[in-house]
Structure formats: C-alpha cells, structure tokens
C-alpha cells in the first residue's frame, strides 16, 4: 500500500509540472522565472505652484472681480474697518431712512398693494399668505413708504416670529439696573416693536406669524380687538390714530408652521394670497435686482426655465424662490463681464447647481443633488460631473 501511494503522488507531481510548463509556454515565461505582478502606485497630484504663487493668483482674480463690482469698494471697506462703531451706527440709521424699496408693481403685487390700502382705510387688519421669497416683506415696506408720503408718518416696526418668540419681544421689558434704582417707571421700560408702533400710530408687520406658538399669538388678540395692550407695572396703553397691523405667513403645509388660533384668525379680515409671479413679472424683478451685472435675455430665459422646473417637479417640496433666480443671474452676469472665454452654458449649469443645492427642499427619500442634476440636464442639456 505505501508503495502505491508514493507512485500516485509522483504521477500527480509530474502532471502538475507539465501543466505549469504548458502555461508558461503560452505566456512566454519560462517555468524557472518568477512572475511578478507590477504594483500600481497612486499617481501623485501635479503641483500647480507654491503656496505663495497660488495665493497670488487668487488675489489677482479677487481684485479683478472687485474692480467689476460697484457693490464692493476697497477704499470704503478699509474706511469701515477703522471707523468708530458709534459713527457707523448713526450712519446706518440714516442710510435706512434714505434707502427706498424698488418694487415691480404689476400683476398680483399691484392688486395686493391696493388691498392693503383699502384695508388700512377701512380699519381692517390684513394677512399676506405665500411661500418664502415671493416678496411679502418687500411689499409691506413699499406700502409703508407710500403711506408715509400721504400721512408724513414713516413709523414702521416689524418682527420675525419663531417658536422662541415671547410676549416680551413684542411688548418690551424693563431695564434691570434702572428698575432697581428708580422702580417701575416708563423711563426704565424698553418698549418693544408692537408698543412703539401703537404709540406712534405706525405700521407693525408680524412676519412669519404662524411660526410662533399660540401662547405668543394670543398676545395680539387685545391690540387687534380693543387697540390696547397691557404693559406690566405700567398699565394699558391705547393705540394712536393710524396704527395698522399686517400679518405675513407661509402656507400651513410648509414645515415649521403652527396653526393660527381661531380667535386670532377671526381678527384678520383681509386675506391676500401671493404665489410665484408670471414669467414676464419675475424676469423684470430679476433685472431690477441685478442692475450692475447685466445679462442677456437668452440666459435670463434659461434661468427662469431652471427655477420654474423646480416648481413643477413632483419630487420637490419647497421649490426655488425669486431670490434663487436673482442669485444665479448675479453670478452669471459677473462671469460674463470677466470674459474668460469659457463655455457659458457649462458655467451657467455649474453656477445654477451651487445655488440650487441650498435653495430647494426635496421630499423625504429624494436626494436634492440628483434632482438638481436632472433638471439641469433637461433644461440646459449639460451633465454636471
């Protein structure tokens, strides 16, 4: 038996050697040679230049961009860096009084403005309802400017509500140090935006009102019904003639909103709905908000096609707003002024991607990146890599 096993093992070893020889003949390598698999070493990145050279190139590009932009002024930026904060604060207050709202008054905006005026005249309080970025706040500011030309009263107070907003943010609060020394007197009280508007007979805008809790919303019941409000330790104050209240809110289906209480809803008697404007109006708004970097109509049409596609896509929960179109137009207009000679369609696609990625919200289970890349491919015929 042992001899048979040895014979069998010898035969198998001969067969193995024979197979190795045959395979080595086919590959052109002798059996005695050692076959080594070459190791693929990772390619090292090409060094563009030293850190100083790269930094110098970036600074040159930035300087070129700033030279094209009337928005940024290098001399003014240096002046602001060294100016006293008290001086800058006073200049800022003066600038706010001088800056006027430049609004496109046509279509739904003209109708909404007329409704605001009628509500003010009739002593009724309106509510503006629309998705983010359709111009609710800008419309209220413009209305206040028109109103001030007639009445001479430019008092305009507004507060953006959220879950952290409390009644004291509307009414005001006492200065602790002054209260300890002098007690609960009017001079120690810091009036809030609502009480200031009531006393001055101005306009108060409750922005994003349905993001506040019902507890905070209930603070508005008395002012909207009795035109009075109770200030702790000081008593009730009566709203002066001319006081006008405007509520602005997003549609209830948008995340983060609360239900408007029935009591508050009953006090808001004029409901004005705003949506995304018609194409001709939206393009005029984009042009008006992009005076420094003029863009051709063909590219404006492409930008509008992109943002419109987000509003009709079933995978998008919160689409692109007017601000998105303005941002894309500004960046594209600046790029065109640089005249780099690059592919403009490719650049528009890349700019649009970087703006849209943070401007839309997709439905659960859908990646914004994939949705945006598909929209860009469909509208511009360009594939983002």
CA neighbor of 93 nearest in space, from 161, 154, 153: 154
pLDDT tens digit string along 353-372?
999 999 999 999 999 999 99
For the chain, give the number of residues. Answer: 385
Give the separation between CA 340 and CA 343, rounded to whole angstroms.
9
Confidence class for position 240, pLDDT limits 50, 70, 90 = very high
pLDDT tens digit string along 152-165?
999 999 999 999 99
User: Can you give the pLDDT at residue 43?
Assistant: 46
- Half-sphere exposure (Cβ direction) of 353: Cα atoms closer than 13 Å: 18
Confidence class for position 94, pLDDT limits 50, 70, 90 = confident
Indicate the CATH number of 108-273 among 3.40.50.300, 1.20.1260.10, 3.30.70.80, 3.30.420.40.
3.40.50.300
- Half-sphere exposure (Cβ direction) of 42: Cα atoms closer than 13 Å: 2
Residues forming CATH 3.40.50.300 domain(s) in the chain: 108-273
**Mean model confidence pLDDT for the chain:** 84
Give the separation between CA 328 and CA 338, rounded to whole angstroms.
16
pLDDT tens digit string along 280-335?
999 999 999 988 888 889 999 999 999 999 999 999 999 999 999 999 999 999 88
Give the separation between CA 211 and CA 164, rounded to whole angstroms.
9
Confidence class for position 24, pLDDT limits 50, 70, 90 = very low
Confidence class for position 1, pLDDT limits 50, 70, 90 = very low
User: Can you give the pLDDT at residue 334?
Assistant: 87
**Does pTM top 0.85 for this prediction?**
no
User: Can you give the pLDDT at residue 22?
Assistant: 43
The backbone torsions φ and ψ at residue 319, rounded to the nearest 5 degrees and listed phi first, read: -80, 180
User: Can you give the pLDDT at residue 63?
Assistant: 66
- Tokens 């995340």 — which residue? 255
Indicate the CATH number of 279-380 among 3.40.50.300, 1.20.1440.230, 1.10.630.10, 1.10.8.80.
1.10.8.80
Residues forming CATH 1.10.8.80 domain(s) in the chain: 279-380
Task: Answer for the pair 192, 171: CB distance below 8 angstroms, yes or no.
Answer: yes
CA neighbor of 300 nearest in space, from 320, 328, 275: 328
Lowest mean pLDDT among 25-39, 85-99, 197-211, 224-238: 25-39
- Residue, of 51 and 8, whose pLDDT is higher: 51
């Amino acid at each position: 038996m042992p001899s048979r096993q040895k014979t069998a093992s010898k035969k198998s070893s001969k067969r193995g050697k024979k197979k190795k020889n045959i395979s080595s003949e086919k590959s052109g390598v002798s059996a005695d040679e050692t076959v080594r698999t070459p190791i693929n070493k990772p390619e090292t990145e090409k060094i563009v230049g030293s850190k100083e050279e790269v930094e110098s190139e970036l600074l040159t590009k930035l300087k070129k961009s700033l030279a094209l932009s009337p928005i940024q002024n290098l001399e003014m930026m240096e002046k602001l860096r060294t100016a006293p904060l008290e001086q800058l604060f006073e200049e800022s207050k003066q600038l706010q009084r001088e800056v006027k709202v430049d609004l496109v008054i046509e279509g739904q905006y003209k109708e909404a403005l007329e409704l605001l005026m009628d509500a003010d005249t009739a002593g009724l309080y309106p509510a503006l309802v629309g998705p983010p970025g359709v111009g609710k706040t800008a419309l209220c500011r413009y209305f206040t400017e028109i109103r001030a030309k007639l009445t001479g009263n430019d008092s305009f107070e507004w507060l953006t509500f959220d879950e952290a907003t409390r009644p004291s943010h509307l009414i005001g609060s006492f200065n602790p140090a002054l209260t300890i020394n002098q007690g609960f007197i009017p001079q120690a009280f810091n009036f809030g935006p609502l009480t200031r508007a009531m006393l001055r007979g101005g306009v108060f805008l409750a922005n994003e009102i349905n993001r506040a809790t019902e507890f905070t919303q209930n603070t508005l019941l008395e002012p909207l019904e009795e035109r009075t409000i109770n200030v702790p330790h000081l008593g009730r104050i009566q709203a002066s003639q001319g006081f006008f209240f405007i509520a602005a809110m997003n549609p209830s289906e948008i995340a983060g909103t609360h239900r408007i209480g029935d009591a508050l809803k009953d006090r808001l008697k004029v409901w004005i709905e705003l949506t995304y404007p018609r194409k001709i109006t939206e393009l005029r708004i984009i042009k008006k908000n992009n005076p420094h970097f003029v863009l051709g109509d063909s590219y404006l049409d492409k930008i509008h096609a992109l943002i419109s596609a987000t509003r009709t896509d079933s995978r998008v929960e919160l689409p692109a707003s007017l601000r998105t179109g303005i941002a894309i137009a500004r960046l594209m207009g600046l790029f065109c002024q640089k005249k780099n000679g690059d592919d403009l369609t490719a650049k528009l696609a890349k700019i649009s991607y970087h703006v849209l990625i943070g401007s839309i919200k997709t439905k659960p289970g859908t990646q914004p990146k994939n949705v945006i890349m598909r929209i860009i491919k469909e509208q511009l015929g360009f594939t983002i890599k």
